[in-house]
Chains A and B, each alone.
Chain A
């Protein structure tokens, strides 16, 4: 099977496509229904952030293996305005838009590994991994 794949995310239709793609990958990697749902939901949050706050970007899906476990890593990248205060952005209930303010923190809690890199004016990269 393909070990990685990259997709553009530009509109809310792309968010739907990303969800379907992530679900297909999670099923192929043998994830349980709960794990599938978790990574698909996290992907949905991050893909929507990419559209709403990053002005569009890309997602990269990678199948990982560390010898014992199989994992799925998703990396969302945009060249948007970036995040000034990472701690604040991760705080539950904080939003600079009109949402619930739970998406970024929720995505972190739904994943095993989480990495957030952002520079104001340059863009944002969020990477999450869920191990089977």
Chain B
């Protein structure tokens, strides 16, 4: 229930210097002193206050998603993202907007103090608006963190899928952790490229470090094996522990077409045998 003639636009316009001064004071009281210098805080606050004052003049106090609020939203987005990067907490980030409440409410009381009903309406309008802006900063802050996590996940994808050469013509791919589809894509590509580069005849895929082998993991393994075979390399899957073997049988996954071994050492022995290489202890020991 927003009354069309809110005093908010006028109050912001007429008392801008006072509100701004109190707002900065309010923020300095809640913010860690080392978080930001007073001058840059003042500059930031002043810039935002200008944008807010102009947006409020549009009269659109109930909806901050409209074109009148574009500037305000852009500045809050920048502010939240930079605060997320600089290690501010979500509360500290939201406090930027919320700390405007007290100075603003003080001015509202001075302006419409005699009329209790009007004051309640004005405070309600102002608090709804500031809460919306604060929630907006929190959402952007959250998105900033999520982007950071997703970037780190991507970095881990690249880290965790090395293809190593064990011997002439023998490659090994030690898999660790979760085999979701995005990562399996990277694994397959790495292995196939390495097969081309080295002309390897045998690739050992070791799943000792994969805690759960379900049908999706099995399907990815089978596809990798099939693709390697098309390129002329045979695959051996090693690291099948007893509990994994039992589970695969219950799932009904058909691995009969693939050579499997319990340990990487067993798989390596088979690979040497197939490529005609031998490793032996020197005679006489």
Contacts and interface: CB of A to CB of B under 8 A. Distances in A.
Interface string A1-36: 000000000001001100100010000000001101
Contacts of B242: 34
Contacts, number: 66
B257 interface: no
Contact of B247 (A12, A99, A110): A110
B246 A34 contact: yes
A109 interface: yes
Nearest to A20: B211
B244 A48 contact: no
A96 to B, nearest CB: 14
Given A92-B252, A105-B252, A100 B246 contact: no
Interface stretch (B86-94, B119-127, B132-140, B215-223): B215-223
Contacts of B214: 41, 44-45, 48, 103, 106
A89 interface: no
Contacts of B213: 41
B251 A109 contact: yes
A102 interface: yes
A102 B215 contact: yes
A102 B251 contact: yes
Nearest to A23: B211
B105 to A, nearest CB: 38
Given A102-B252, A102-B253, A110-B251, A37 B212 contact: yes
Interface string B183-221: 000000000000000000000000000011111101100
A132 interface: no
A103 B215 contact: yes
Contacts of B180: 12, 15-16
Q: Is the interface of B mostly helix, strand, loop or mixed?
A: helix
A41 B251 contact: yes
B58 interface: no
Nearest to B181: A12
Nearest to B149: A13
Contacts of A103: 214-216, 251
Contacts of A23: 211
A37 B252 CA distance: 15
B247 A37 contact: yes
B181 A99 contact: no
Nearest to A104: B215
Interface in A74-120: 92, 99-100, 102-103, 105-106, 109-110
Interface of A: 12, 15-16, 19, 23, 33-34, 36-38, 40-41, 44-45, 48, 92, 99-100, 102-103, 105-106, 109-110
13 contacts: A37-B247, A38-B246, A40-B212, A41-B212, A41-B251, A92-B252, A99-B219, A100-B218, A100-B253, A102-B253, A106-B215, A106-B250, A109-B250
